[in-house]
């Protein structure tokens, strides 16, 4: 597999000849609804093991090998009829794609709203270990309220994917600090919540619990730690696993209601897997920026592995970007946008897609009805860079928020790097 950056003058016919892959396959693999139109700077997944390359001025076989990060001997073996000493400008040589003999096993979780289409669900399921329908909500008395997830569970099981019961402290449409405080302070409500969860796990034959409790009062930190230990013991005794979701922290004493009660050390002890929500640096009301700047994710993971066993960590992966109007005005909302829609937008307005090396994220500008916009999103190049952190930090795998949008290149990149664990 190659990730190719579109250059001025490129079209799919040229790329088809260069990589010996049918135009129809390149279009399908990249979700191109208008294959005749490409944006300069757009990154494409090309499912090929070889690329035809024309030598440019000043290049040698050694410099080309370094540019494409392949051993010189591999490049020479792929071009037995080429004299490396007499290389000329315009000579065509073959660039082989190195393939791993075995893929790294990875646990892959995908959150999904019940509104997910069959197309998007079928797009994701082959690459998933767990599907986490979002979500059960709770009341101050420990009651739980189910999403419409029966069809998703059945499809997941038929695909060999284990469903996880996702429970949040969402109450009346929003994460509620007060509801969780009431449950933690009331022994009866706490027992109701745990008992109701266990009953629902058995009734729907879930594989385990995915607990996403956010905006916990800092005053409830120790009570929540105690709750985690208790529910972990009860779940494990009953034969279920516990997955928890936590905010991205840089240090143990990080201030703020999102962070203070997420005790990484206790989460790492109690849970079988911990989803670290490494996204939302760029968010609905932020200034324009990457949703997942890679240098910030590195900082979070560098701390996380000191508190949580790395083999339990699932790094969060966003499946969305944002479209901001310019000039940015504080308090003005950006619009969420899918990755396919983002590249289609760039193509429609003939925008060049730029790439920010520091954050490893693509972005572009366009003007509509006299209003300038900037879009930050992800593409195969940025996804590959961020998924590379799984190997760097020896993590268990990743967790996608959410899989409701089908972005085929993401799954092709993931499949080139990982073998999804199936239980």
Q: Which residues are catalytic?
A: 214
Residue 386: name the closest of 287, 300, 262 by CA. 300
Dihedrals φ, ψ of 145, to 5°?
A: -125, 125
Residue 294 CA to residue 314 CA, distance in Å, equals 15
Residue 338: name the closest of 100, 33, 23 by CA. 33
Q: Which residues of 32-59 are buried (b: 16+ CB within 10 A; e: fewer)?
A: beeeeebbbbbbbbbbbeebebebeeeb
| C-alpha torsion angle, residues 284, 288, 293, 299 (rounded to 10) | -80
Write out the E strands in 174-240.
174-175, 208-212
Residue 191 CA to residue 183 CA, distance in Å, equals 9
Structure tokens at 254: 């990080």
Residue 214 CA to residue 323 CA, distance in Å, equals 26
Residue 51 CA to residue 2 CA, distance in Å, equals 8
User: What's the CA angle centered on 168, arms 163 and 173, to 5 degrees?
Assistant: 120
In the chain the first and final C-alpha atoms are separated, in Å, by 27
Residue 362 CA to residue 353 CA, distance in Å, equals 7
How many CA atoms are closer than 13 Å to the CA of 363, on its beta-carbon side? Answer: 21
Structure tokens at 180: 């969780």
Angle 380-392/294-307 helices, nearest 10 degrees?
20
Strand partners, 184: none
Strand partners, 368: 371
Residue 217 CA to residue 207 CA, distance in Å, equals 29
Residues 6 or more apart whose Cβ sits within 8 Å of residue 278:
248, 292, 296, 297, 300, 301, 315, 316, 317
Residue 243: name the closest of 280, 297, 197 by CA. 197
């Amino acid at each position: 597999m190659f990730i190719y950056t579109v250059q001025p003058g490129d079209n799919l016919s040229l790329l088809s000849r260069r990589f010996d892959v049918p135009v129809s396959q390149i279009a399908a693999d990249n979700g191109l609804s208008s294959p005749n139109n490409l944006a300069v700077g757009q990154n494409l997944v090309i499912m090929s093991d070889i690329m035809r390359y024309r030598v440019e001025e000043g290049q040698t076989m050694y410099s080309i090998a370094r540019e494409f990060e392949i051993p010189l001997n591999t490049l020479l073996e792929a071009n037995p009829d080429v004299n490396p000493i007499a290389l000329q400008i315009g000579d065509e040589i073959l660039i082989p794609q190195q393939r791993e003999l075995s893929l790294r096993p990875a646990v892959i979780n995908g959150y999904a709203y019940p509104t997910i289409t069959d197309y998007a669900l079928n797009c994701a399921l082959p690459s998933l270990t767990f599907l986490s329908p979002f979500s059960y909500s709770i009341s101050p008395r420990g009651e739980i309220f189910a999403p419409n997830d029966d069809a998703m569970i059945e499809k997941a099981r038929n695909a060999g994917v284990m469903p996880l019961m996702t429970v949040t402290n969402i109450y009346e449409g929003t994460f509620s600090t007060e509801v969780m405080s009431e449950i933690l302070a009331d022994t009866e409500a706490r027992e109701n919540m745990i008992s109701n969860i266990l009953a629902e796990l058995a009734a729907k034959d879930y594989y385990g619990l995915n607990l996403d409790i956010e905006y916990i009062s800092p005053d409830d930190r120790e009570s929540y730690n105690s709750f985690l230990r208790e529910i972990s013991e009860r779940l494990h005794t009953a034969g279920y696993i516990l997955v928890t979701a936590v905010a991205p922290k840089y240090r143990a004493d990080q201030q703020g209601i999102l962070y203070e009660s997420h005790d990484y050390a206790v989460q790492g002890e109690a849970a079988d897997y911990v989803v670290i929500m490494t996204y939302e640096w760029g968010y609905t009301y932020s200034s324009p920026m990457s949703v997942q700047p890679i240098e910030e994710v590195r900082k979070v993971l560098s701390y996380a592995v000191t508190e949580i066993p790395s083999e339990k960590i699932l790094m969060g992966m966003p499946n969305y970007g944002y479209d901001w109007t310019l000039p940015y005005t504080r308090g003005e909302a950006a619009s969420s946008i899918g990755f396919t829609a983002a590249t289609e937008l760039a193509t429609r307005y003939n925008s060049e897609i730029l790439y920010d090396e520091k954050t490893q994220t693509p972005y572009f500008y366009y003007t509509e009805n006299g209003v300038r916009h900037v879009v930050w999103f992800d593409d195969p190049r940025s996804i590959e860079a961020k998924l590379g952190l799984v190997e760097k930090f020896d993590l268990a795998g990743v967790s996608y928020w959410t899989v409701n949008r089908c972005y085929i290149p993401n799954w092709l990149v993931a499949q080139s790097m990982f073998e999804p664990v199936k239980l």
